[in-house]
Structure 1
Amino acid sequence: GYKADCAGPDWARLVQVFQNPSLQLASFTITEKGYALTDLAGETLPAARQDFAAGPDAPRHTMSIAAALLYRRFQAGGHPIAMVSMDNCAQNGKKLREGVFAAAEAWERAGLVPAAFLAWLSDEKKVTFPWSMIDKITPHPSEQVKKALEDLGLQDMTISRTNTGTLIAPFVNAETTEYLVLEDAFPNGRPPLERAGVYFTDRATVEKAEKMKVGTCLNPLHTALAVYGCLLGYTTIAAEMADPDLRALVEHIAAEGLPVVEDPGLLSPRKFIDEVLHQRFPNPAIPDTPQRIAADTSQKLPVRYGGTLQRYTQRTDLAVSALEYIPLVFAGWCRYLLGVDDALREMPVSPDPMAPALQALLAGVKVGTPETCTDQLRPILSNAAIFGVDLYQAGLGEKTEAAFRAMLAGPGAVRTTLRRYLSERA
């Protein structure tokens, strides 16, 4: 492979590749953070700001690099190309397009590229940014997998950490199950990837497939297992699925989401959930951890649960206030933020940009003394930016508070509360 570094030895070869008329597509698997051009405060990142001023000859940010390579293609005749994001985030093609255009427009304003380059980028007969839904659980490299490979006689299976903190290895531990749903928008043709199981469809169907997975069939269940797994002392998702209480919890959460699921048609939401619950999450060869999944939960909740809550509020035949298990997840998350597990041992809280502010709001709440919980939850549960709706307006705020207070009773209160909800509402 070649490294997309304009100061490195591979850059000239990458430029040649992008100038080749036969190039049909370039794909991206750079994680959601790779598309970000601003920080949490909305300020342009230093690398992006530097790129916008410097022009297409010395890009550093991935979005600027993509724009610079497209500029080389434009200069070499402007042959069509598809820029395909295959990262696990909503509207990924839109994110990629916006990142590329941010760089290109900055260069055009500064007179560093001609307006014709922007016109070419904007022409969907020339350049497309197809949306995709990709699904394959691929945790960090596992010591368990490393040992298994070494026992088979393979050598040099060392797990290393990059200078940015990412764990890498000569192997990838991932599940067998995989889905790739692609918007069929390839102006220069494409390989027959449908023969390998890729689904080609229109953008609306891709978005429904993504919402189905992220908003109902997989990610909400992952988040529930994350917060309760941490509280109950688990270190793998597979082990949690052997816990009857946790298994029942995620089954009930799935059942609450199904009535308002985004059904893409080409994948069955019910079959997708069954595969997640019976094959994927219980797989011991996928050593994914609740601690990893619990990271950035405040950023995940509006995507993983907000859509379901909003769709419930829009339905006249369903009452959002009747939900029981989804608010139990919110109560468990607030209990998790206290940094004390169900055995009353101190527990690390995974990184989250809102954690300091949320924990400050919960200051004074003590596990073992439920009366210390007065109105601390109100500013959290009323925040529609976190839950997609104001939980009090939806009739779920008081429910969430009640479950949270029950989990403060003392050692084992999380488990007891979970069992009570599961038995009373079975």
Structure 2
Amino acid sequence: MRLSPDTAGRLPSDISRFSYERDHQQGGIVHFGIGAFHRAHQAWYTDLAMDTGDKDWAITGVSLRSPSVAAQMNPQQGLFTVTERSAKGSRTRLMGAVREVLVAGTGSAALSSLLAAGETRIVSFTVTEKGYCRAPNGSLDLDLAAQGSFYPVLAEAMDVRRESGVQGFTLLSCDNLAQNGQQLHRLMSEYLTARAKHLLPWFEAECRCPSSMVDRIVPATTAEDRSALAAQLGMDDEAAVFTEAFTQWVIEDDFAAGRPAWDRVGAQLVADVEPYETAKLRMLNGSHSALAYLGLERGHVFVHQAIADAEVRTLVERLMREEAAPTVSAGPEQDLERYASSLMERFANPALNHRLEQIAMDGSQKIPQRWLDTLAEQARRGRSCPAILTALAAWLRHVRQHQRSADDPLVPELRRLWQQYGSRDIAQRVFGSGGLLASAWQPSQEDLAFLMTDLSRP
């Protein structure tokens, strides 16, 4: 038996569930990238908001590439469960906020119609860093943007809305990009400038791109997870997600046509997201990437195993507290020392089984905002960051050792640089002036010597 509206009534009484009438909720949100993180985070908040009486914010998910999520969710008419795990136990809730999942390509006509409709007031994104189709210098790569990204279909929908007098929508990035709203606005503007320049004035006047910071650790669901849950539920949930109890969502309160009452259920609506966003990118995400590459190199599989390794833990604590935290201009209610302590506790949660390989994916797209921005800020202060440099060396070794399997769009170019320059000059060619990942951080001779020494060791 599989979870569906027809079988949901047979769920055990200890499974919490929504109380609103799903059939009476109109759609209000289209979400690109409806993976496990979205279901455990934005959909979770939206479900709780609708449970307080908020109406007409049901979500239609969009998968840009794989039909697998549609195959998980559509037979269940969008129903799924979220299980929060901690050392003290777990709790499971049935979620009803998602209506259906469209697959770009096969569902392109329905998607275009939905995006053009006035009922769609928010278009949100968890497409990962590489989903924004940025070139290494941060500008929009128009060739990539034309290959199955969200830009063309959004531009088409904007044109229809403009012609028919429908108001604009909010484009809400929920990905780990510094100033993600501003970046999305800039990249969308670059696309329109190149492909539909007549839409730029309408986009500027009618649409909004608020920044947001999202925080919840959501490991990939395994077959073992689903099997254990099926025994608990008495039925299969192919769309189930598993996460930690902690969750945070900080959103710039700037919307074109309203928003769900996310603030009623724990989200923070603020004027400036930057302090929260910077702390998360540099302290949490930066530490996560360090754990991934250092941990994998030492034979660990999960985050909680890597953080229990004394040598790795020492480096991560130094990265978080001594290198990243001092570069964050904390907001009025932010306690960075307490935040660092909570992160260490969350990393050590043995119930999550968060795989290091999952975090290690797409490193070239992640480390600029997770590590290079910190390096640049500390360099301006005349300080070095040995923990981040050690992690950078581990990433470069990871790319070299996993050239065929590393999931990263720049692997072909990184492979070429490794073959051509070797450990002596690879760092300069990747991070130096004119390098593949050149940024505001220009490595000093001492930095390059540190990296060369680390990369040369067996």
Structure 2 length-normalised TM: 0.66
The gaps in structure 2 that reach 5 residues or longer are 1-98
User: How far 1:104 sits from its partner (Å)?
Assistant: 4.4
In the alignment, the residues of structure 1 paired with residue 375 and residue 181 of structure 2 have an alpha-carbon distance, to the nearest angstrom, of: 26
User: How far 1:245 sits from its partner (Å)?
Assistant: 2.1
Partner of residue 125, structure 2:
28
User: How far 1:182 sits from its partner (Å)?
Assistant: 1.0
CA-to-aligned-CA distance 1:292-320 (integer Å, 9 cap, x gap):
322332333322111112112222xxx32
Larger radius of gyration: 1
**Matched residue count:** 356
CA-to-aligned-CA distance 1:319-348 (integer Å, 9 cap, x gap):
324x432222233334444529xxxxxx97
User: How far 1:18 sits from its partner (Å)?
Assistant: 4.7
Identity %: 26
Partner of residue 402, structure 1:
453
Partner of residue 160, structure 1:
none
1:324 corresponds to which of 366, 386, 392: 386
CA-to-aligned-CA distance 1:376-416 (integer Å, 9 cap, x gap):
655456466357523234x32223333444x42xxxxxxxx
User: In the alignment, does 2:301 pair up with 1:235?
Assistant: yes
| CA distance 1:396–1:349, shift in 2 (3 Å) | farther
CA-to-aligned-CA distance 1:241-278 (integer Å, 9 cap, x gap):
22222222211111222222242334332222211111
In the alignment, the residues of structure 2 paired with residue 24 and residue 103 of structure 1 have an alpha-carbon distance, to the nearest angstrom, of: 21
Partner of residue 344, structure 2:
277
Q: Is the 8 A contact 1:306 1:389 kept in 2?
A: yes
Q: Which amino acid aligns with 1:177?
A: F
Q: Which amino acid aligns with 2:348?
A: P
| CA distance 1:261–1:82, shift in 2 (3 Å) | same
Q: Is the 8 A contact 1:81 1:187 kept in 2?
A: yes
Partner of residue 131, structure 1:
211
The gaps in structure 1 that reach 5 residues or longer are 50-59, 110-114, 158-168, 341-346, 366-371, 409-426
State the SS of the aligned residue for 2:244: coil
Q: Is the 8 A contact 1:179 1:198 kept in 2?
A: yes
In the alignment, the residues of structure 2 paired with residue 139 and residue 349 of structure 1 have an alpha-carbon distance, to the nearest angstrom, of: 20
In the alignment, the residues of structure 1 paired with residue 113 and residue 176 of structure 2 have an alpha-carbon distance, to the nearest angstrom, of: 27
Partner of residue 265, structure 2:
196
2:353 corresponds to which of 287, 298, 304: 287
In the alignment, the residues of structure 1 paired with residue 443 and residue 207 of structure 2 have an alpha-carbon distance, to the nearest angstrom, of: 43
In the alignment, the residues of structure 1 paired with residue 230 and residue 256 of structure 2 have an alpha-carbon distance, to the nearest angstrom, of: 45
Q: Which amino acid aligns with 2:390?
A: L
| CA distance 1:310–1:376, shift in 2 (3 Å) | closer
Q: Which amino acid aligns with 1:392?
A: S
Partner of residue 56, structure 1:
none
1:259 corresponds to which of 326, 335, 341: 326
For residues 8-407 of structure 1, what are the structure 2 equivalents within 5 Å?
11=109, 15=113, 18-20=116-118, 24-36=121-133, 44-45=142-143, 48=146, 61-102=149-190, 104-105=192-193, 108=196, 115=198, 117-123=199-205, 126-157=206-237, 169-202=238-271, 205-215=272-282, 217-256=283-322, 257-278=324-345, 280-315=346-381, 319-321=382-384, 323-339=385-401, 350-359=406-415, 361-362=417-418, 379-380=429-430, 382=432, 385=437, 388-393=440-445, 395-405=446-456, 407=457
Q: Is the 8 A contact 1:258 1:269 kept in 2?
A: yes
| CA distance 1:234–1:174, shift in 2 (3 Å) | same
| RMSD of Structure 2 on Structure 1 (CA) | 3.6
Partner of residue 166, structure 1:
none
| CA distance 1:250–1:85, shift in 2 (3 Å) | same
In the alignment, the residues of structure 2 paired with residue 82 and residue 364 of structure 1 have an alpha-carbon distance, to the nearest angstrom, of: 46
Q: Which amino acid aligns with 1:201?
A: V
Structure 1 length-normalised TM: 0.71
In the alignment, the residues of structure 2 paired with residue 84 and residue 43 of structure 1 have an alpha-carbon distance, to the nearest angstrom, of: 20
Q: Is the 8 A contact 1:305 1:388 kept in 2?
A: no
User: How far 1:64 sits from its partner (Å)?
Assistant: 2.2
| CA distance 1:79–1:236, shift in 2 (3 Å) | same
In the alignment, the residues of structure 1 paired with residue 224 and residue 101 of structure 2 have an alpha-carbon distance, to the nearest angstrom, of: 30
State the SS of the aligned residue for 2:172: strand
User: How far 1:28 sits from its partner (Å)?
Assistant: 2.7
Partner of residue 368, structure 1:
none
In the alignment, the residues of structure 1 paired with residue 174 and residue 306 of structure 2 have an alpha-carbon distance, to the nearest angstrom, of: 29
Q: Is the 8 A contact 2:379 2:441 kept in 1?
A: no
| CA distance 1:87–1:364, shift in 2 (3 Å) | closer
In the alignment, the residues of structure 2 paired with residue 46 and residue 364 of structure 1 have an alpha-carbon distance, to the nearest angstrom, of: 26
In the alignment, the residues of structure 2 paired with residue 364 and residue 47 of structure 1 have an alpha-carbon distance, to the nearest angstrom, of: 30
Q: Is the 8 A contact 1:296 1:352 kept in 2?
A: yes
